[in-house]
Amino acid sequence: MPHLLPPDTIFPGPVLSRRAALGAAAAAALAVAPRPAAAQAGAPARPLPYIDAHSHVWSPDVARWPLAKGQTKADLAPPSFTPEELFALAEPQGVGRVVLIQHSVYHAFDNSYLLDCARRMPGRFSLVGMLDDTQPGVGERFRALLPQGVRGLRITPRVRGDAWLAGDGMAALWRTAAETGQAMCCLIDPKDLPAVAAMCQRNEGTPVVIDHFARIGADGQIREADVANLCALARHPRVTVKLSAYYALGKKAPPYDDLIPLIRRVLDAFGVERCMWASDAPYQVQPPHTYAASIALIRDRLTGLSAGDKDW
């Protein structure tokens, strides 16, 4: 069965091919223990080969899992999106494993819910958490999360503003990531790409993931200068890109064919080994958008790729 992102990258096992070796250096930052999905506790019996590289989950039980900044259950939109609700949408499309991304608004720096999901459904999730880089010892705290399945860290100017890449704590996180193979996962807008490029230049050994094409096209316009800045990051060999969040980009309407030229530019620049399909659920599943339409753009509508490239 094919993989959109092979299990020896996000979910690494033995090195099976040259292509796997190329991809592992960048994407292994999001790794969990290698066992076939069908053999894992709580996993379905039928093969589910695909991997969703970006989804959020949260619980309606806000008494057990409190929300940040005094938010209440009424602030959750949708009111519930648990792993079970995610897999109800993902499994019919052949998706059996997911990279869960900490929600910067609902839970901020409290990674407890994601850690609980990973413990409760072993082998099915890899985690991208969040840490407050203004606090002491943040590098060591990042390292300590690795055995718990946190293979990456979400960083974004939405939390820290223009100073989001500055300071001793952020520098420590990038150094730690270079040592551990954990990834710095950037939720950014096109204007932030030059700052990320400069940080990559100073930290060539650090795995870096760019979420959602750096949100190019979020205002409806896919500008050549923005695409060029994103593709220029390909010169840094440890940078990878998520092909995701189609509901939010370009014309923002399924089947999202207007995004295919952007996808092709990114694939040409980075190669398929350094690109990841992802849904960005639950936002991708709000009508008229669907989970099926997201995966179908890559699986069914992106013509001209070899069978092996599409499987990757």
With CA atoms as reference, report the closest residue to 273 among 311, 244, 247: 311
- Tens of pLDDT along 143-184? 999 999 999 999 999 998 989 999 999 999 999 999 999 999
How far apart CA 21 and CA 205 sit, in angstroms, is 16
DSSP output for 102-157 = --TTTTTT--HHHHHHHHHSTTSEEEEE---TTSTTHHHHHHHHGGGTEEEEEE-H
- Tens of pLDDT along 68-103? 999 999 999 999 999 999 999 999 999 999 999 999
pLDDT exceeds 90 at position 15: no
Mean model confidence pLDDT for the chain:
88
User: Which strands form 239-243's sheet, in the order they lie side by side?
Assistant: 50-55, 95-101, 125-129, 150-155, 183-186, 208-210, 239-243, 275-277
Range with lowest mean pLDDT among 3-17, 225-239, 268-282 = 3-17
More confident position, 6 or 62 = 62
Instruction: Please state the rounded mean pLDDT for residues 14-25.
Output: 36
Range with lowest mean pLDDT among 42-46, 133-137, 246-250 = 42-46
The pTM for the full model equals 0.87
Structure tokens at 94: 């052949």
The crossing angle, in degrees rounded to 10, of helices 291-299 and 260-270 is: 60
Instruction: Please state the rounded mean pLDDT for residues 118-126.
Output: 97
Give residue 44's pLDDT band: very low, low, confident or very high (50, 70, 90).
low
**According to CATH, what is the number of the domain 18-311?**
3.20.20.140
How far from 93 is each of 49, 53, 125, 127, 301, CA to CA, in Å?
10, 14, 17, 21, 15
pLDDT value for 43: 53
pLDDT value for 312: 85
246 Cβ contact partners less than 8 Å away, ≥ 6 residues apart:
252, 254, 256, 259, 284, 289, 293, 294, 297
- The helix/strand/coil state of 53 is strand
